[in-house]
Structure 1
């Protein structure tokens, strides 16, 4: 049995690449890039608000699949295609982390994202003992 366990988000994949959505090593959880893929269609919607909503939905699901919740996220990197997406990200951020005294670290650099993505997230989390 491997110490490392791959984590997947049901209905969301990296296509044909052999990359899991993330990995769990003991209490540590690391994600790959989590995009706003619609699990019903396997595509990224054109609507920026829907993409951002789906990314945060997938982060919740990813953490549940790992055995935790967003409460266990210590750092989140949210890559954005352009500045116009930042306000949408901030809206979902506050919904996920409403308490300003209990939010993870975050960095949101501009990035050249693929497949029509306007936003993509990566997380590092520590599960409780």
Structure 2
């Protein structure tokens, strides 16, 4: 399924002191399509989040809080399996996981985070 790309005028993060607040990341590719496989959606979201944090002077290894929004909370074990695989060996931050009513496209999750900068 294809969705409109995010507006380039909307930043994906803001910095306050030594903290980075990363906005919600959806599993949309640059062309607006969404992978059908849930595990692929999770990996894509975490890759995008990692790139955003790096751009902000941080990284997945500097996470201090993660919020996960799932279309189906019963899929949390699937999310956890990929999440722990991607963050293997990194400090695990506190996390909140909640079910939401729906997304506007085939997305099954959205992830936002707070991280410390490397500075």
More contact order relative to length (CA 8 Å, sep ≥ 6): 2
Instruction: Classify 1:25/1:14 alpha carbon distance in 2 versus 1 (closer, same or farther; 3 Å).
Output: farther
Q: Which runs of 4+ in 1 moved over 6 A?
A: none
Q: Would the aligned equivalents of 1:28 and 1:125 in 2 still touch at CA under 8 Å?
A: yes
Verify: 1:89 aligned to 2:79, yes or no. yes
Shift of 1:21: 1.3
Where does the alignment leave 5 or more consecutive residues of structure 2 unmatched?
none
State the aligned residue count: 115
The Cα RMSD (Å) is 2.2
Deviates most, 103-112 or 15-24: 15-24
How does 1:1-129 map onto structure 2 within 5 Å?
A: 15-16=6-7, 18-39=9-30, 41-99=31-89, 102-112=91-101, 113-129=103-119
- Asked if the contact 1:77/1:107 (under 8 Å) is kept, the reply is yes
Deviation of 1:45 after TM superposition, in Å, equals: 2.1
TM-score by length of structure 2 reads: 0.82
| More deviation, 109-118/66-75 | 109-118
- Residues 85/14 of structure 1: CA separation in 2 closer, same or farther (3 Å cut): farther
- What runs of 5+ residues in structure 1 fail to find an aligned partner? 1-12
> Measured at CA, do residues 26 and 85 of structure 1 come closer, stay the same or move farther in structure 2, by a change above 3 Å?
same
